[in-house]
Amino acid sequence: MKLQKSNLSKLVRGFRTIPTTKQAQPIELPSVQHQARERIARIDSEGIVSPFLIDTFRRRHDYLRISLTERCNLRCFYCMPSEGIELSPNGNILTDDEVVRLATLFVRNGVTKIRLTGGEPTVRKNIVDIVGRLNTLRRFGLQSIGMTTNGIALHRRLPSLVANGLTHLNISLDTLDPFKFEIMTRRPGHEAVMRAIETALALPELHSVKLNVVIVKGLNDSEALNFLEMTKDKRLSVRFIEFMPFTGNKWDKAKMVPSSELLSHIAERHPTATRAPDALNDTARNYTIPGYQGSFGFISSMSDHFCGSCNRLRLTADGQIKVCLFDAKEISLRDQMRRGASDEDLLHTIGLAVRGKKEKHAGMEDIDVITNRPMILIGG
C-alpha cells in the first residue's frame, strides 16, 4: 500500500536519522538549532511572523527600531539629562556588519518594517551604506525603511539615503520659533531643520514625511495651531507627542498636556477636523482637516497608551534588545554574537525577551525612571 506524500511527511517529520539496519537504534530527535533553521526556512517561504516574535499576549512583532548611535548634535532637555551622559565606548557599539546581521535575522523571522534612530542617526558613519545594505533585505520580506532624525545634518544626505532605499522619514521639531528652538535643544540649527523638511517634501520617492512635536505645557503648547498650518499646502503629517518620563529629563506631570486637551483646543479652531482611519498597530490617532493636504495626530503614550496593539521591538546602539520603551529590562545580543553565537542561538534569546514582554507599561506615576536609560541611550 502506498503512502500519500502528506502522510509520509508526517511520518518522518521530527526525525534527523532513520535506522537502516535491523538492529534497534535510538531515534535522534531534531536539535534546537535544526528546528530553528526549519522555522526560518518556512518563514522565508511563507512570509509569516515567527513564533519567536509573538509574545504571550499574541502580539506579533513585525516592527524593529534600530538605534545606530548614542551620539547627537542636539541636547534636547526631554531626551538628554542636563548634566550630559556617559557614552558607551566605541567598541561597545554595534558594527555595521552586526547591525545588518541582526536586521537580517529579524526580517527573516517576520519583521517587515525597520526604523533607524539614535541618538541622531545621521551622525553615524556609513549611514547611507547601511540603508543600502538593509534595502537588500526586501527579498526576505522587508517592506519599509524609515528614519527618525532631528534634521540638523540631513538635507545634503537625504537624496542619497532615499536612492539607497529610505522610504519613510520622521523629523523632530518642537517649535517654529528659532529662539525657543535653542532653549529646547541647547543648540542652534532651526534653519537647517526647516531646510531638511523642504528637501524631504520635494522627494516623491518618500512614502511619508512626518513631523514629531513633543508638547510641553507652558513652553510650546501654544504653537499647535501654527504647526497645523504647515499641513495646509504640504503632504506633511504633524504628530503631537505627550511629554514622557525618562532618566534625567525632570519629567513633571504638570508639564504634560494630555492629547484630549490638545484636541479640544484644536477643535475650537477647526471644528470640521475628522478622525482618519488608523492602520493596524498605529501609535498615533490621526485626523484630517477638510481642504488641507496633510494631517495631524496624537501619540498618547501617557494618557491613553496603545500597549494592546504594540508590535515594536528596539535594538539599542550597544546591542541590547528592549521589548518596551518604558521597561528597564534588556538582554545583550551583542555579547552573544561576539562569543560566537549562531543565528539560532540569537533567535532563542530574542524569543526569551519577547515572551517576557508585559501586557502594558506602568501608569504615569509608576514608570521606572531610575533604572531605565535616558531616552537618547534607548533610541528615540
Torsion sign across C-alpha atoms 95, 153, 76, 202: negative
Q: Number of structural domains, the chain? A: 1
Q: Would you state the pLDDT for residue 16?
A: 35
Cα–Cα dist 195/353, whole Å: 40
38 is a domain residue: no
Q: Would you state the pLDDT for residue 322?
A: 93
Q: Would you state the pLDDT for residue 315?
A: 96
What's the whole-model pTM score? Answer: 0.82
- pLDDT confidence band for 56 (50 / 70 / 90): very high
200 is a domain residue: yes
Contact 372, 71 (CB under 8 A): no
Q: Would you state the pLDDT for residue 68?
A: 97
Evaluate if residue 248 carries a pLDDT over 60.
no
Q: Would you state the pLDDT for residue 144?
A: 98
Evaluate if residue 199 carries a pLDDT over 80.
yes
159 is a domain residue: yes
Q: Which of 27-41, 50-64, 248-262, 333-347 has the lowest mean pLDDT?
A: 27-41
Q: Would you state the pLDDT for residue 354?
A: 96
227 is a domain residue: yes
Parent domain of 175? 57-378
Residue 74's CATH number: 3.20.20.70
97 is a domain residue: yes
Torsion sign across C-alpha atoms 94, 214, 170, 328: positive
Pairing of strands 285-288, 295-299: antiparallel
Over residues 149-184, the pLDDT tens digits come to 999 999 999 999 999 999 999 999 999 999 999 988
Mean pLDDT calculated for residue range 307-332: 89
Q: Would you state the pLDDT for residue 156?
A: 92
Over residues 200-241, the pLDDT tens digits come to 999 999 999 999 999 988 889 999 999 999 999 999 999 999
Over residues 93-145, the pLDDT tens digits come to 999 999 999 999 999 999 999 999 998 999 999 999 999 999 999 999 999 99
- pLDDT confidence band for 48 (50 / 70 / 90): confident
Q: Name the percent of the chain lying above pLDDT 90.
A: 62
11 is a domain residue: no
Mean pLDDT calculated for residue range 331-353: 97
Phi (first) and psi of residue 313, to 5 degrees: -125, 155
312 is a domain residue: yes
The grid coordinates listed for 115 are 526604523
SS (H, E, C) the chain: CCCCHHHHHHHHCCCCCCCCCCCCCCCCCCCHHHHHHHHHHHHHHHCCCCHHHECCCCCECCEEEEECCCCCCCCCCCCCCCCCCCCCCHHHCCCHHHHHHHHHHHHHCCCCEEEEECCCHHHCCCHHHHHHHHHHHHHHCCCEEEEEECCCCCCCCHHHHHHCCCCEEEEECCCCCHHHHHHHHCCCCHHHHHHHHHHHHCCCCCCEEEEEEEEECCCCHHHHHHHHHCCCCCCCEEEEEECCCCCCCCCCHHHECCHHHHHHHHHHHCCCCEECCCCCCCCCEEEECCCCCCEEEEECCCCCCCHHHCCEEEECCCCEEECCCCCCCCEEHHHHHHCCCCHHHHHHHHHHHHHCCCCCCCCHHHCCCCCCCCHHHHCC
302 is a domain residue: yes
Closest CA relative to residue 82, chosen from 256, 318, 246, 327:
246
Q: Would you state the pLDDT for residue 324?
A: 85
- pLDDT confidence band for 21 (50 / 70 / 90): very low
